Each structure stands twice: as structure tokens, then as C-alpha cells.
């Protein structure tokens, strides 16, 4: 009988309830958020994102190909992780942060991707267009009929020498 | 999330279409003139989507100015 082998990595997992052994309030998410109203959060992000230092970082990320949608998500989620505001407010303020990022990009004349899903939709060529394009291609090229292929084969030069293929006689 | 974004976008478009209302200033003189009411309480907007939309409109207007 084969014996079940014990996986030592199982011992490295936290013991249930281990997080409760530490003193509460050590992490930002264990403390009440600093900002509790939507107006405060909007003001906070306006100050942060229109700052000259943040401006550069945003433009670098946009040039790197990060979409506005994802960047806004990162910023608002990190705000929650750092204990600035609750997750509810992060979701509520997300469209405003997107707008701010677009404003920064526009002020620097930078191109940006709004969202990856929209980009994929734009790239997708409709089937109707592909169909008409293939039809046009077929019209331009002469049709390869069986007769044309036979003529091409006959035109091929005859092989000579020792290694030449022998012709099969029907 | 997507529904919320769509809702906000709809609100923003509505607000952008709205024309600014001009307040009519009535001059009232004389002893029969009505006294101006002093408002003790401010009306707070409790609709969070509306607040966010208002702020987005302000930024979008700035963007439109940038684009000309």
C-alpha cells in the first residue's frame, strides 16, 4: 500500500486565530478611516493627484500603457489600505479619480487608454467587414482551378541524373 | 461597479446639458418691502452620486476648455 506523504509546507501556514494574538489597531485597516465623507475624500484626491510629483508619476504610468480604469482602481484601493477612507468611499470616488487622471493626461497632451475592455472592442474588426474584404481578395486573384494546377505541373522542368524521380506509368 | 459608472456618466451628461440658471434680482424698496430671510440651516445634498457627478462636471469642463 502506498503511504500518504506529509507536506512540510503545511506547517508554515498561520494557525487559526493567530491574527487575534496581536494587539488590535496595529494596521491601518484596523483603525477607523481618517476621512468619512465623500467631500473630504474628493478634496483629498484632488490635492494629491494635481500635485506636481503625482503628476509625473501618472504620466509615466499612462505612457507605460496602464489604463485609466486600472490606475484609478489602484489609487482608491491603496487609499483604503492606508486607512484614509473606507472601501465604500473608494468605490464611490472612483469615477472622480478617473476624471482627474484624464485631466492630468489632457493637460500634458498625453495619449491614454481608458480601459482595456474598450480597447479590445475597438480593435475587434466586425465580421461584416472581414467578409467583404475576403470577397474582394477572391475577385482580384484568379481562381485556382484543377486545370490551372495541371498546367503548372506540366511546365515544371524535367529532372535528370541518377537521383531523379522515376515517372510512374499508368 | 459598472452600473454605478454608467449612472454617474448619465448624471454628468445631464448636468452638462443644463444651462446655468439666472437669478432674478428683485429690488424691493419702501416700507412694504419684504425682509430678506436669513437661513439658519443649510440644505445638505445627501445623494452621493449627485455630489460625485457635480465634481466630475467641474473637472470635465476644465478638460473641455483645454481641448478648446
Among B10, B12, B48, most A C-beta atoms within 10 A, so best to mutate, is: B48
pLDDT digits (tens, 9 = 90+) for A147-157: 666 676 666 66
Q: What is the DSSP string of chain A?
A: -PPPPP-GGGGGSPPTTGGGGSPTT-SGGGS--S--SHHHHHHHHHHHHTSHHHHHHHHHHHHTT--HHHHHHHHHHHHHHTTSS-HHHHHHHHHHHHHHHHHHHHHTT----S-HHHHHHHHPPPHHHHHHHHHHHHHHSPP--HHHHHHHHHHSPPP-STTPPPPPP-
Q: How many domains does chain A have?
A: 1
Q: Do B56 and A95 touch (CB under 8 A)?
A: yes
Confirm whether the ipTM is greater than 0.85: no
Q: Do A103 and B56 touch (CB under 8 A)?
A: no
Whether A15 is in a domain gets the answer: no
Whether A4 is in a domain gets the answer: no
Q: Please state the pTM of the whole predicted model.
A: 0.68
Whether A70 is in a domain gets the answer: yes
The region of weakest confidence among A48-57, B12-21, B41-50 is B41-50
Domain that holds residue A68: 26-147
Among A39, A99, A107, the residue with its CB nearest the CB of B60 is A99
Among B8, B51, B63, the residue with its CB nearest the CB of A39 is B51
Whether A21 is in a domain gets the answer: no
Amino acid at each position: 500500500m502506498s503511504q500518504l506523504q506529509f507536506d512540510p509546507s503545511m506547517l508554515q501556514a498561520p494557525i487559526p486565530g493567530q491574527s487575534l494574538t496581536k494587539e488590535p489597531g496595529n494596521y491601518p485597516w484596523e483603525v477607523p478611516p481618517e476621512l468619512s465623507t465623500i467631500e473630504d475624500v474628493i478634496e483629498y484626491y484632488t490635492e494629491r493627484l494635481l500635485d506636481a510629483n503625482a503628476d509625473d508619476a501618472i504620466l509615466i504610468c499612462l505612457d507605460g500603457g496602464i489604463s485609466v480604469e486600472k490606475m484609478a482602481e489602484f489609487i482608491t484601493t491603496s487609499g483604503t489600505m492606508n486607512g484614509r477612507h473606507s472601501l465604500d468611499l473608494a468605490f464611490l470616488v472612483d469615477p472622480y479619480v478617473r476624471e482627474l487622471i484624464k485631466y492630468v493626461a489632457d493637460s500634458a497632451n498625453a495619449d491614454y487608454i481608458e480601459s482595456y475592455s474598450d480597447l479590445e472592442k475597438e480593435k475587434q474588426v466586425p465580421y461584416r467587414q472581414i467578409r467583404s474584404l475576403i470577397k474582394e481578395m477572391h475577385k482580384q486573384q484568379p481562381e485556382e482551378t484543377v486545370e490551372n494546377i495541371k498546367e503548372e505541373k506540366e511546365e515544371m522542368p524535367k529532372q535528370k541524373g541518377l537521383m531523379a524521380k522515376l515517372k510512374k506509368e499508368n | 461597479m459598472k452600473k454605478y459608472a454608467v449612472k454617474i456618466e448619465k448624471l454628468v451628461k445631464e448636468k452638462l446639458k443644463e444651462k446655468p440658471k439666472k437669478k432674478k434680482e428683485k429690488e424691493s424698496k419702501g416700507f412694504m418691502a419684504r425682509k430678506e430671510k436669513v437661513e439658519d440651516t443649510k440644505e445638505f445634498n445627501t445623494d452621493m452620486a449627485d455630489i460625485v457627478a457635480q465634481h466630475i462636471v467641474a473637472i470635465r469642463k476644465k478638460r473641455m476648455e483645454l481641448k478648446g
